[in-house]
């Protein structure tokens, strides 16, 4: 199963802004943040738990999420015939943000339920 980040359209569409967004999340949370993560089913036991007689149990493993939101500031430039760039102002787009996947943060949840005694 592939998990993908959930971000605003501007972040998804603009490659430069995407890189800056991931860098900001990494700095804010001190973790490696990516936009995709592939999860595979496994029969290996990676966490321990006690299961009472007559119960079945489950362990879920998942990656942490990092959220950041705010405004995106874009600089407007005028390009002269000589290919010089002159800053003419800024454009602010609000409600930009989303979730990234913290690839080096792993969490577990578990539980059990009564299944019945077998004879």
- pLDDT tens, position by position, 51-110: 888 888 888 877 777 777 776 677 888 889 998 989 888 877 777 777 777 877 777 888
Cβ neighbours of 28 (radius 10 Å): 13
**Strands 33-34 and 55-79, bridge-based pairing:** unpaired
pLDDT over 80 (residue 27): no
Q: Residue 67: what pLDDT? A: 78
Q: Residue 9: what pLDDT? A: 54
Closest to 30 (Cα-Cα) out of 71, 66, 72: 66
What is the tens place of the pLDDT at every residue in 7-17? 655 566 566 66
């Amino acid at each position: 199963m592939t998990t993908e980040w959930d971000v605003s359209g501007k972040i998804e569409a603009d490659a430069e802004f995407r890189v800056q967004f991931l860098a900001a999340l990494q700095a804010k949370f001190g973790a490696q943040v990516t936009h995709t993560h592939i999860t595979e089913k496994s029969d290996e036991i990676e966490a321990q738990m006690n299961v009472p007689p007559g119960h079945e149990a489950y362990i879920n493993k998942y990656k942490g999420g990092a959220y950041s939101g705010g405004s995106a500031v874009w600089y407007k430039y005028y390009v002269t015939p000589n290919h010089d760039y002159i800053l003419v102002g800024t454009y602010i787009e609000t409600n930009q943000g989303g979730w990234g996947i913290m690839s080096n943060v792993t969490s577990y949840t578990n539980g059990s339920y009564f299944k019945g005694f077998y004879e």
